[in-house]
Structure 1
């Protein structure tokens, strides 16, 4: 594949991978994943029966219902982080609080595994910020910031030929250099 090859000619796996990467980049993906993974052991361990040879080890406790609720809520918050990015702060705070409550309610937070995953997921959700939208190099497309596609830049004094620059933008020779020469000449102080 060369640099000129369009993405459409790539294989199905490559297209799906690129679409997933674009989707993942617009939301707190890792925060949702860690929160979701934190809810699974918290909800699972109170109901699990472990077999050690011929011996069964049951973890059934009176806090099983609380563990199930906390685990399901953490999984729901993880999915919310993925599909409702606007609620990421609420979901992050709720995940951290539920992780702390799981220490007391559900077998030390799913044997610390679920607690740590949910805590990291909540912290990642709080720290995530949406990125800047990419700037379109093509002037033909309409964007939300520039509906006409003409460009937003206004001309400044000194940009138009024949129009004088502002006094603070001229140096010794009358050029529009931002007053750099005047500042250097007077010991770094700007001359009005």
Structure 2
């Protein structure tokens, strides 16, 4: 094996981490995570008992089944955001509505914690947009130094987007745009 070969001695954890990073970048990952984390306290608190010394506080409410349904639906919507990102706007709106409904139904929305996480997750899901896929020709190889990259790639990296507007449409030349016959 030569020292120039790449990928032969990579550790399997590094490979899994790169795959996870690529998977995470193609979907509203954080939106789904926040929504699922928000659904857990909403579903859990109505069935929990708190022990303070010898005193047991039962936090169960008459709407325990409703809060369980809201919590399970929020976790399901979070998984939907991960695995079916095409319906991310619907899942985000549904998560926000369920978070708002959890305030009167499920112990003030899981003591505000579940409400806030679900609300933020729904908002992140609505605002997420997929990125433009790069072709294999445009993407720089990580093993190729910047100085050795092709000229077209270097020009693309240093290109500055032009501002739009009538005053910026004319070409910028030293003589003000007037060409002299020479």
TM-score bracket, shorter-length normalisation: 0.7 to 0.9
Q: Give the 4+ runs in structure 1 shifted more than 2 A.
A: 3-9, 178-186
The whole-number CA distance in structure 1 between the counterparts of 2:127 and 2:5 is 37
Deviation at 1:180, TM superposition (A): 6.8
Residues 68 and 185 (structure 1 numbering): CA distance in 2 closer, same or farther, change over 3 Å?
A: same
Corresponding residue number in structure 2 for 1:184: 177
SS in 1 for 2:177: helix
Which is richer in helix? 2
Equivalent residue number for residue 75 of structure 2: 75
CA distance in 1 between counterparts of 2:121 and 2:5 reads: 38
Following superposition of structure 1 onto structure 2, how do residues 132-151 of structure 1 map, counting pairs within 5 Å? 132-137=132-137
Measured in 1, the distance between the counterparts of 2:8 and 2:23 equals 17
Determine the structure 1 residue equivalent to 2:30: 30
1:53 paired to 2:46: no
CA drift at 1:5: 5.3
1:106-185 mapped onto 2 (5 Å cutoff): 106-137=106-137, 184-185=177-178
Question: For the Cα contact (< 8 Å) 1:8–1:15, is it kept in 2?
Answer: no
Could you say if the C-alpha distance between residues 59 and 183 of structure 1 is closer, same or farther in structure 2, counting changes exceeding 3 Å? same
Structure 2: unaligned runs, 5 residues or longer? 139-169
Contact 1:38 1:74 in 2 (8 A): yes
* Equivalent-residue separation in structure 2 for 1:80 and 1:11 (angstroms): 31
What's the RMSD between the two structures over aligned residues?
Answer: 2.1
Per the TM alignment, residue 60 of structure 1 is displaced from its structure 2 partner at its CA by 1.1
Find the aligned partners of 2:98 and 2:4 in 1 and give their Cα distance: 50
Q: Distance in 1 between matches of 2:56 and 2:135?
A: 61
Paired positions, count: 145
TM-score by length of 2: 0.74
Are the equivalent residues in 2 in contact too, given 1:67–1:106 (CA < 8 A)? yes
Matched residue SS, 2:17: helix
**Mind listing any 5+ residue stretches in structure 1 that lack a counterpart?**
139-177, 187-192
- Larger RCO: Structure 1 or Structure 2 (Cα < 8 Å, ≥ 6 residues apart)? 2
Query: Aligned residue for 1:10?
Result: 10
- In structure 2, do the counterparts of structure 1 residues 179 and 69 end up closer, same or farther at CA, with 3 Å as the change threshold? closer
Q: Distance in 2 between matches of 1:137 and 1:34?
A: 36
* Cα gap change, 1:78 to 1:179, in 2 (>3 Å): closer
What is the TM-score normalised by the length of structure 1?
A: 0.70
